[in-house]
Structure 1
């Protein structure tokens, strides 16, 4: 018996340690804090006009653009994030802690600051933008800028998730494969990645969800051009000024998409995929 905890037994005979009773009150307050705002959105919906509001041309264009750019940024996160997580988890070099801090910086940086940083990097007069401009390549205030902004804020989520999975999985199976003569690329493809596939999938889902809701970096770096850079969060912000009911309806639409992502993630976890 652990002091402050109540122990019992599960049907399979394993010892089950209960929670202190006082933990349920702050837990309930936390759940209420997270769910009441969502309920408030439901109460403000004009259900008679809901379908017409969320199926308007501007809403459909913004939603499709959001899904396309979020998918593209998720792919970019996977292509860049997997090697980054491998280097951080398996690499042995000086300055690794500093590198990890830089990789995780977008997690704590305000998105609008990230947008400004991207603008001064890829803008017409930016660090790289000037060279790209010489070749006729303009990134700022384009759909590509949306993808870059979403990737910038989403990439750390995938790296953190995958690096954690790599650390938990250990190196035992990789060392066995290497002992048997497998090349590093073969070990990575046949051993490492299959072992951490749940962490990779979870990180990809988190990156997609973060990209779908991105606002600050996008509006700063890409602007708000309908059909080009105006994603659903930007459309909600603009509609809030002119048509509050449309903004509430689109907010609910984005919430429903987010709920679908969460449910999909939870279903895969319970199925053993995540």
Structure 2
């Protein structure tokens, strides 16, 4: 299966998951960090169960410990910002802001993996940030609200994490890496926030659990497809760029299913500009 097809599958599942996740997180009882903990642990567990039908492979011949620790920190902290933002921000606006992680993947790859930025990629980077300006054009102050700042922080951390993923996937099979990359950051958050970990059991109640299991199953498949694409693609920037087609898809789905139709033309323009920019940084 080609990396393009794998990325396409990941995009569709991710876009649906984001909208579903948004609906779950708008519930008054939801706590972003507690949700992040249970969310990551369940995805890791589901990915591990799926991987039982495959062969787990981990190559310890190279010292990957620093990258391993970096993976835990980037995804652990990144998920805190991710879920806090998703709870407070419109799904369509969050998606546009979070899509800037593609730029940070390119930047991280140029520094850590020796992948330089071409002139057209620099133009793409400018367009990405222009899309952020467009989506906030209605505001009189040149500042972002808290939830949107969190989205940008999570984009930076996830962008750098994807660069790190590219390196680590040379030494892991897709299933074992997907399992580890969700379980360990989840445990890291549980240690940092024991009260939220204790609260996480609230999400396992019978009226909420079926929805949570469906969400984590979809997200697990999306993650497996994404990491598979990242493993076989020529470079990480190609996958990162192609993945952000979810910007257009999520905005469209949010308009149809969540009725987020305020500033529709503005959102559509920002999504198109962001998409064009991310295609240029391939």
Q: TM-score, normalised by structure 1?
A: 0.30
Q: TM-score, normalised by structure 2?
A: 0.29
Larger relative contact order (C-alpha < 8 A, sep ≥ 6)? 2
Structure number with larger C-alpha Rg: 1
